A = this chain, B = another copy of it.
Amino acid sequence: MVSEFDLIARYFTRPLRANSPTSLGIGDDCALLTPSPGMQLAISCDMLVEGRHFFPGADAARLGHKSLAVNLSDLGAMGAKPVAFTLALSLPQVQPDWLAAFSEGLFSLADEHACELIGGDTTKGPLNICITVFGEVPAALALRRDAAKAGDDIWVSGTLGDARLALAACNKELVLDSAEFTAASLRLDQPAPRVALGNALRGIAHAAIDVSDGLIGDLGHILKRSGVGAVLNVDALPVGTALSKQTQDLRRRFALAGGDDYELCFIAPAARRMDVEAAAQKSCTQVTRVGSITGQTGMKLVDAAGQPLELSVSSFDHFAAS
């Protein structure tokens, strides 16, 4: 019988990196982290549950990637640089193949961002993955949700709606050709967190959020916390090739409220457009200007011609959706 401690040791313990800010990692009551002077610690936590956030039997390597990616996405949205993370894992049984693949997917993305696994917990139970991630951001430079100002531009990174498109294909709501399905599935299963862009936007953007529940809902959080409104040009929303071939209605709905995008929606002064473009170039990330912040509260959706749109879409909600 493989013991819990053997399990942890075999798949998740690695030596700490050289120059690691962590002086003690897995194997003690706590990990010890030495924060850099002048930095604030940005902390985020996401829990992924089988059957809700991923399909039963989901590919373990992709799941390892995604579990960390959704957390790194939060650091990106804060303008923070990843440092470390903890992993709590509830597993129905010990499957070496699954653990090997999961940890490979996890560590591959972690290494890309120099983000170290410093502690955690494993237990038996329904499959559940809970990661808490730690990043650093210079004091007062964090991209919060409450600092959008009237007159600011609204931007989004990458393309929206691809993950929802993949889900629709999986659910047989529509048919994609093989190449399109592969591309969309990658966006659903292995999102690339926009950490580099978020870091490059420090001191430029006023506010940011990562788009995980759909743009309309997530932008709504910024508007509410900042006490402002927005005009959003729905037809300016960036979509990928496959989604651009779908009907106008579906394209709009998926881009506005698809969920699982893990792109950044950020708010920057109109006077900083060139700086935003430079940050995008520096981080090799596409950005698109999609609207503007208004002093009057509420979100006004308009089409390419500036005409008001009445769309009944709402953001994803884990309980309401059930």
- A interface list, Cβ under 8 A from B: 1-5, 7, 23-24, 27-35, 37, 40-53, 74-75, 77-78, 80, 84, 86-90, 94, 118-126, 128, 130, 132, 134-135, 137, 139, 142, 144-146, 208-210, 221, 225, 317-320, 322
Contact = CB atoms under 8 A, between A and B. Distances in A.
A139 B32 CA distance: 9
Contacts of A80: 30
A34 B139 contact: yes
Nearest to A39: B35
Contacts of A319: 1-4, 7, 94, 124
Q: With a 10 A CB-CB cut-off, give which of A41, A94, A134, A145 has the most chain B CB atoms.
A: A41
Counting from the closest, the 4 A-B pairs by CB-CB distance are A49-B125, A30-B42, A47-B88, A130-B130
Contacts of A120: 45
A210 B30 CA distance: 11
Given A3-B317, A130-B88, A119 B28 contact: no
Contacts of A125: 49-52, 126, 128
A47 B78 contact: no
Given A4-B318, A78-B30, A24 B139 contact: no
Nearest to A53: B123
Contacts of A2: 319-320
Contacts of A144: 24, 28
Nearest to A134: B43
A204 to B, nearest CB: 17
A122 B318 contact: yes
Nearest to A94: B319
A320 B4 contact: yes
Given A3-B320, A45-B121, 16 more contacts: A4-B317, A23-B40, A24-B142, A24-B144, A30-B43, A31-B43, A34-B41, A43-B86, A45-B87, A45-B88, A49-B128, A50-B125, A53-B123, A88-B132, A94-B319, A130-B130
A44 B32 contact: no
Given A30-B74, A40-B32, A209-B29, A49 B126 contact: yes
Given A2-B319, A43-B86, A47-B121, A145 B23 contact: no
A134 B53 CA distance: 27
A105 B7 CA distance: 33
Nearest to A198: B29
Contacts of A37: 37
Contacts of A225: 27-28
Contact of A124 (B1, B52, B130, B221): B52
A221 to B, nearest CB: 8
